[in-house]
Structure 1
């Protein structure tokens, strides 16, 4: 139950002002064609910020040889993992394409920037 409490605290923290207000886009006249939006480049992560965000990750992934009691599975080592792999995995959990209830709950509170920062930091570890 503790990881969910931490995840809830992180969600409250992020929702309390970490995100800028969004404004409605200006209306475009119907007579003018609109340009197709440019594909956004993947955000480059900030390892220093990522280091601050991984405190909940260490609870399972930071313990050598850790296994959950039920269901019984090995918790993978994520330190030093490929940055792109970590981005893909966390995004998959957040979007529901990767299935694991605890990881899905953790990833729900993460923005794309959070994911990029976490991946950038974990990729620097040995």
Structure 2
């Protein structure tokens, strides 16, 4: 669990940096605030998994997991199509493959928390 605690604190630190940097940015949009809000919400399952605490409801995190996966697929779809079909670029393709693998790695605690931590949810009921 130590690895997941480190990952949680890295995410928390990056969220604080984003929160501090947001007012200092010249080209701030509503999407920046939405991203900050979503990032803050998604920090909870990483905390819950790392520290083995039930936060919120199991169904909430299961739905959030699928929404998060859909967001990543949506964000990666256009660059993937661009690098494979329109402008075949091996470096772009490999960067997308690495991004997908990294996202899959980062989804592990989220997935385990939402779907395989029944002991946490049964203790909190």
TM-score above 0.5, yes or no: no
Pick 1 or 2: higher relative contact order, CA cutoff 8 A, min separation 6: 1
More helix by share: 2
- TM-score, length of structure 1 as denominator length: 0.31
- TM-score, length of structure 2 as denominator length: 0.31
